Structure 1
Amino acid sequence: MKVGIIGAGSIGLLFASYLNRAVEVTIYTRTAEQAVEINKHGILLYKGEICKKSSVRALPISQWEGDENVTIITVKQYQLEPIIDKISNLSASANNILFLQNGMGHLKQLESIQSENIFVGSIEHGAAKENNFTVSHNGAGITKVAVFKGNEGKLKEFITAMPDDFPFVFHENFYSMLLGKLVVNAVINPLTSLLSVKNGALIENPYYFNEVQKVYSEIASILLLEDSAWHFEQVVQVCRKTADNRSSMLKDLEAGRPTEVDAILGYLINEAKIQHKEAPLISQLFNLIKGKEQVDGSELV
């Protein structure tokens, strides 16, 4: 099986390193320079003190022709538009595409894609990009996947080919699958970003935890969550399991990059408007994150 991975950030490098042990992987990079470095050094994967090297073929995204059996899109939501345009131009050959983005704001974009099979996923791994060819695997988890449009056969065939130490789990309903991750991201990411704290601080500090409860309550109301207690417990468990981790949104702000706040909180604000509901806490968090992006110069990146 041939697998293409578009995006060579932390998640792209992580997936390329593990998947290359079981299938033939080509990783597509934003710059030609990064492709040269990966082809020269391979991908170095650190898990604790152990380092493993994977020889993975790398090409700039301009050379992607969509001829792999499955292509995984690991870029962030705000980087999707040119890739979706490219997919549309390759519609005859680009099929079986798996999108791995945070939030749910990108689902509208996926509706326009004419490819036969479109899949979506939710990642529970923690990873940090150290340089253009080195990634640290900071927290092992699973990757949940589901069919957004098309046939589940190709997705299940892909899952079967994956290495045992990097599991993929099939879900019947893409909406419920992504909903769980959205709730966790919508609570943890904005609060840790604005407070500049690791995930564990949200449940260890009683004042922070009070805000966690308030924000969650507003999210649960907007999403009409049926099992609200279960979803809240998932937020607490993620904070506990990833206590020493910094959220992806916090790392983006620290690095002066745009965040995925539009895909996460922006989606919730839009849902609240559709229901004619007020969302004062979510709106305030959204504006503060966007403000920090502007102050930090992220909008120029």
Structure 2
Amino acid sequence: MRIGIIGAGSIGLLFSWYLSEKHEVTLYTRTVHQADLINRKGVTLVKETEEVRKLPAKPMDEWVGGDDLTIITVKQYQLQEVLFQIEDKLDEAGSLLFLQNGMGHLKLIEKLQSSSIYVGSIEHGAVRESAARVRHNGAGAIRAAVFKGSLVRLEELANNAPEDFSIQVETDYYEILVRKLVVNAVINPLTAVFQVQNGILLANPFYRKIAMSLLEETLCVLETADKEKHYRDVVNVCEKTASNYSSMYADLSQGRRTEIDAILGFLIEEAEKRGVHCPYICNYYHMIKGKEFQGEVVT
């Protein structure tokens, strides 16, 4: 299958490396420099060892929509600009898979003219070490479902994914995004504010109490019934990625904009619609925004 990947951050590099094992992958980057570097040196995956895979890369403005499947891996706050660039090139025969944190992107993609649109979530730990180098810190689940259109391309992707990078096709896209949103809402802002690894949220009894309070409030805003399932999700991710730093922690420490608006910002909007009081969510939202403001964040 011909696959285009838009966005060459940690997730874009990770997907391009693994999927190029069985598919014809082209990686679309924000800069010409990064595309040139990948074309010359390939993409390096760092795990127990290092391995390079050669694949073509092009600047994002050269995407023409001719792939069987295009996977969009840019951050939530970059998505509107990307959609503006590609909207007039969408091929009716092509399919799109969106892999953003939060749920704010649903209102952006619902009007796109594409035969099939999928959304998904990723639990793999990955850090971009340089423009063509990604460290795979921990394996996790990749879940995806149909947002609209046909299941065909998504099933083809899942059936031909590498064994150590499997993709689970599920029936309810909303449930996938809610599960990931809950995990992100608890782990990302707390680890970024406390400046700790994920596992410390469980190991430190005081941080754990705050995490559970934030979890309860998040589930209240989302009116989610199965609280035990979401509790297990948060605990499992903290345990599996105990020595990792969250993406929000990494973004703040490197002076980048975070996805707090797509995560806690989205929850604040939902709380306002439903008349739900959410002091923990508001508190940590403004803490992260304050850190962004103080740190002269770049996008």
Greater alpha carbon shift after TM alignment, 27-36 vs 146-155: 146-155
1:150 aligns with 2:156: no
User: For the Cα contact (< 8 Å) 2:3–2:71, is it kept in 1?
Assistant: yes
SS in 1 for 2:128: strand
Q: Secondary structure at the match of 1:135?
A: strand
Aligned equivalents of 1:131, 1:91: Cα separation in 2 = 30
* Cα offsets for 1:4-43 (capped at 9, x unmatched): 0001111111110111010000000000000000011111
Conserved? CA contact 1:87–1:94, under 8 Å: no
Structure 1 residue 211 corresponds to structure 2 residue 210: yes
**1:42 aligned partner:** 42
For 1:51 and 1:99, the matched residues in 2 are separated by 28
For the pair 1:183 / 2:182, whether they are aligned, the reply is yes
Partner of 2:195: 196
Which amino acid counterpart does residue 36 of structure 1 have in structure 2? D
Structure 1: which 4+ aligned runs deviate by more than 2 Å? Answer: 91-95
1:8 matched to which residue of 2? 8
SS at match of 1:192: helix
- Contact 1:269/1:279, CA 8 A, preserved across alignment: yes
The match for 1:170 is 169
Match of 1:100 in 2: 99
Which residue number corresponds to residue 113 of structure 1? 112
**Aligned residue in 2 for 1:271:** 270
Q: What letter corresponds to residue 58 of structure 1 in structure 2?
A: A
State the 1:91 CA deviation.
Answer: 2.8
RMSD: 1.1
Deviation at 1:68, TM superposition (A): 0.5
Instruction: State the 1:142 CA deviation.
Output: 2.4
Q: What letter matches 2:161 in structure 1?
A: M
Q: Distance in 1 between matches of 2:229 and 2:130?
A: 38
Provide closer, same or farther for how the CA distance between residues 36 and 93 of structure 1 changes in structure 2, counting only shifts above 3 A.
farther
Distance in 1, Cα, partners of 2:162 & 2:201: 34
Matched AA of 1:247: S
State the 1:94 CA deviation.
6.8
Match of 1:25 in 2: 25
TM-score normalised over the length of structure 2? 0.98
Using the TM superposition, give the Cα deviation of residue 93 of structure 1 relative to its aligned residue in structure 2, in angstroms: 4.9
Structure 1: how far apart are the matches of 2:57 and 2:92?
A: 20
- 1:92 is displaced (CA, Å) by 3.6
2:87 corresponding residue in structure 1: 88
**Conservation of the 8 A alpha-carbon contact between 1:193 and 1:247:** yes
Which residue number in structure 2 is paired with residue 139 of structure 1? Answer: 138
Q: 1:119 and 1:233 mapped to 2: Cα distance? A: 26
**Does the Cα contact within 8 Å between 1:30 and 1:60 map onto a contact in 2?**
yes
**CA–CA distance in structure 2, aligned partners of residues 76 and 3 of structure 1:** 19
Q: Secondary structure at the match of 2:164?
A: coil
Q: How many angstroms does 1:154 deviate by? A: 2.1
Tell me if the contact between 2:61 and 2:85 (Cα under 8 Å) persists in the aligned partners: no
Residue 244 of structure 2: aligned partner: 245
Aligned residues: 299
AA aligned opposite 1:69:
D
Deviation at 1:184, TM superposition (A): 0.5
The separation in 1 between residues aligned to 2:270 and 2:289, in whole angstroms, is 19
Q: How does the TM-score come out when normalised to structure 1?
A: 0.97
User: Residue 225 of structure 2: SS of its match in structure 1?
Assistant: coil
Alignment of 1:281-300 (within 5 A): 281-298=280-297, 300=298
Tell me the SS of whatever aligns to 2:45.
Answer: strand
Tell me, in whole angstroms, the C-alpha distance in 1 between the residues paired with 2:200 and 2:140.
Answer: 21
Cα separation, partners in 2 of 1:237 and 1:92, compared to 1, 3 Å: closer
| Equivalent residue letter for 1:43 | V
Which amino acid in structure 2 is aligned with residue 34 of structure 1?
Q
Taking the aligned partners of 1:159 and 1:240, their CA distance within structure 2 comes to 26
Task: Give the residue type in structure 2 aligned to 1:292.
Answer: K
Paired residue secondary structure (2:154):
helix
Deviating more after overlay: 164-173 vs 82-91: 82-91
What percentage of aligned pairs have identical amino acids?
48
C-alpha spacing 1:32/1:65, structure 2 compared with 1 (3 Å): same
- For the residue of structure 2 that corresponds to 1:165, the secondary structure is helix
Look up the equivalent residue of 2:134 and give its one-letter code: V
Structure 1 residue 161: Cα displacement: 2.0
**Alpha-carbon offset, residue 86 of structure 1:** 2.6
